[in-house]
A and B are shown apart, each in its own frame.
Chain A
Amino acid sequence: AQRVTQPEKLLSVFKGAPVELKCNYSYSGSPELFWYVQYSRQRLQLLLRHISRESIKGFTADLNKGETSFHLKKPFAQEEDSAMYYCALSAPSGGFKTIFGAGTRLFVKA
C-alpha cells in the first residue's frame, strides 16, 4: 500500500541553523514526490516536486529510491520558514490521487 511517513510532528530550530524535514514513503514503483507548505492563515500550496530538481526559497529535496526517502533540506533556516510542511506522493496506479503525510510543523526561533 502507498504510505507517506513524516516521523516528526514538530521541529524547532534557531534562525540560521540547518533544517531537515524527514519523509519516507512506501511504493514499489516510480512515484512522484512533492512537498507542500501551509503558512499561517494561507492556503496549502506546492513548495517543490522531485521531478523539477529545483530549489525553492532555499529548500531542496532529493529522492532517494534506495532508502525510499524524500527529505526536505535548507542550509540556513529563516523565521519566515515557520509553517506546516506536508510530504506527498502520487503514482500512476493511484490515478490522480495524492497521499499526504501527517505533516511536520517547523518553528524557526529568532
Chain B
Amino acid sequence: DVKVTQSSRYLVKRTGEKVFLECVQDMDHENMFWYRQDPGLGLRLIYFSYDVKMKEKGDIPEGYSVSREKKERFSLILESASTNQTSMYLCASSGGKSYEQYFGPGTRLTVT
C-alpha cells in the first residue's frame, strides 16, 4: 500500500518567514509533485521532480523552490512566505509506467 506522508497537517507562519514542507513516499517512485489546492481553482502544479536532484517548474512556481536530495523525499520551500500563499499543499508521487498519482494528506498553511 503506497504511503505518502507530509510533515505537518497544519502550519501557521508569519509573513516573510522561510517555510519548509516535507514529503516522503515509501514506494520507490521516481516522480514526485507539489500542488496547491484552492477552492474553485482545483489543483495547480507548483513543481515536480522525475529523479533525484532533478526538478521542473509547474504552472505556478513563483515564490517557491524545491529540493530532492533523496528519491523518497521532496521538499517544498517558501523562501519568504506571503499571505497569498495561504493554501492547502498536496504532495503526490507516481512511478513506473503509470500516471496514477498517490497523494499525501495535505498541509494547510496559513500565513499571517
Pair from one complex: yes
**A residues at B contact (CB < 8 Å):** 6, 9, 32, 34, 43-46, 49, 86, 90, 95-98, 100-103
Which residues of chain B are near A32, meaning CB under 8 Å? Answer: 99
Whole-angstrom CA separation of A98 from B31 in the bound complex? 11
Residues 1-50 (chain B) with a chain A CB within 8 angstroms: 4, 31, 33, 35, 40-45, 48, 50
Contact A96 B42 (CB under 8 A): no
Residues 55-90 (chain B) with a chain A CB within 8 angstroms: 56, 58, 90
Closest Cβ of chain A to B94, distance in Å, is 6
Whole-angstrom CA separation of A97 from B102 in the bound complex? 13
- Nearest 5 A/B pairs, CB to CB: A90-B99, A102-B42, A100-B43, A44-B103, A96-B31
Closest Cβ of chain A to B27, distance in Å, is 14
User: What count of chain B residues pass the 8 Å CB interface test?
Assistant: 25
Find the residue from B40, B42, B90 having the highest chain A CB count within 10 A: B42
Whole-angstrom CA separation of A103 from B42 in the bound complex? 6
Checking B31, B56, B100 against A49 with a beta-carbon cut-off of 8 angstroms, the contacting residue is B100
Name the CB-closest residue of B to A49.
B100
Beyond A44-B103, A96-B48, is A86–B94 a contact (Cβ under 8 Å)?
A: no
Contact B40 A98 (CB under 8 A): no
Contact A34 B41 (CB under 8 A): no
Which residues of chain B are near A96, meaning CB under 8 Å? Answer: 31, 48, 50, 94, 99
Q: Can you give 30 contacting A-B residue pairs, CB < 8 Å? A: A6-B42, A9-B40, A34-B99, A34-B100, A43-B4, A43-B103, A43-B105, A43-B106, A44-B43, A44-B90, A44-B103, A45-B102, A45-B103, A46-B100, A49-B100, A86-B43, A95-B56, A96-B50, A97-B33, A97-B45, A97-B48, A97-B58, A98-B33, A98-B99, A98-B101, A100-B35, A100-B42, A100-B44, A102-B40, A102-B41
